[in-house]
Amino acid sequence: MGASLSRAKRGRTKGNPVKAVIFGCAGPRLGAAEARFFAATQPFGFILFGRNCADPEQVRALVAACRAAVGRADAPVLIDQEGGRVARLGPPHWRKAPAARVFGELYERNRQAAISAAEANARLIAAELGPLGIDVDCTPVLDVPAKDGHEIIGDRAFATDPATVIALGRAVCAGLAAGGVLPVVKHIPGHGRARADSHHDLPVVEAPLDELRAVDFAPFVGLADAPLAMTAHVLYTALDNERPASTSARVIGDIIRGEIGFQGMLISDDIGMKALSGDFAARTQACLAAGCDVVLHCSGAMAEMIEVATAAGPLGDKAAARYDAARRAVHAASGPIDVAAERARLEALFAAEADA
């Protein structure tokens, strides 16, 4: 992947270490003030939203400008391109991909067809992201939705059966990696029972530990070898009755790193979400102190980013090593993708099942 992050961290860019933060930007073009700020603060990477994406040429230019600002051609650029209602890229320039639930429903009828379709769909997503310079996709969602869970997860989840989620989640990870894109499994250790939207409120899950282990944790255990994961801003009373997972050293240390066994790079969910309390400096410090490798700040609001950058320390050696290992693995797994063939494969799998 070129120069490693560990080298970057030691001061490859004018003596400023890479900070343990991923930032969004305000619009479709990088402003001069944003470029100066990113050059000075050296965020680990960037994340794009619908507000940043108008057409392919514009997105490529924005991605290049972000990387040029920090002086790192390998700075990761993330996006939430799940398919369904969570897709930052869409028609007319990009394909409208199905929601995860579509593959879960197919799995109930034909397991192998569903796995093949999920992988083909992810390959097609990677084939769209790669030419834009986007190399990290925040998917698959491994949450197992409860009947009384909030609709924020809904059809973003594959199924209510953990084994189905594992099989389809692994297929998505493989499809993205085949196209050179790193997957981010989310929302560890599970958002499916939450009865509130963590964008607006702090969800409190009161399920006992044995139920969490049997259902919520299971998909993440099954994909514990995933390269990156995103935390859940959810408070689990059986684990820590004071702090949500993103800011809980017990949840991250004992459950995510320990019991689940996830050893990849751990990214907080957006610290601008209202599930977290305190100012942005406090939120940043709390997530990093609990064990997150990197904090995610999405809004692109400059005043907030200044607070976050002031509070965020340098990217840790372990975090840099985790990311470097992930990049090496995805490069080893990637190769050219025949877009026409993958599209035909996906269409044939759904057509065959419809005719069955």
Annotated catalytic sites, by residue? Answer: 199, 269
CA separation for the pair 147, 195 (Å, rounded): 10
Q: Which long-range contacts (CB under 8 A, 24 or more apart) does 107-115 make?
A: 107/158, 107/159, 107/164, 107/167, 107/168, 108/159, 108/164, 109/353, 109/356, 110/353, 110/356, 111/167, 113/349, 113/352, 113/353, 114/167, 114/168, 115/167, 115/168, 115/171
97: left (phi over 0), alpha (psi -120 to 50) or beta: beta
24 and 297 Cβ atoms separated by less than 8 Å: yes
Nearest CA-CA partner of 52 in 75, 71, 24: 24
Cβ count near 327 (within 10 Å): 21
- What is the residue type of 126? A
Whether the CA torsion 128, 124, 335, 136 is positive or negative: it is positive
Task: Report the Cα 201 to chain-centroid distance in Å.
Answer: 21
Nearest CA-CA partner of 27 in 308, 274, 302: 302
Nearest CA-CA partner of 46 in 171, 140, 134, 117: 134
Partners of 235 in the β-ladder: 204
Longest CA pairwise span in the chain (Å): 62
Tokens, residue 203? 């969800």
Task: Report the Cα 190 to chain-centroid distance in Å.
Answer: 14
Measured between its terminal Cα atoms, the distance across the chain in Å is: 45
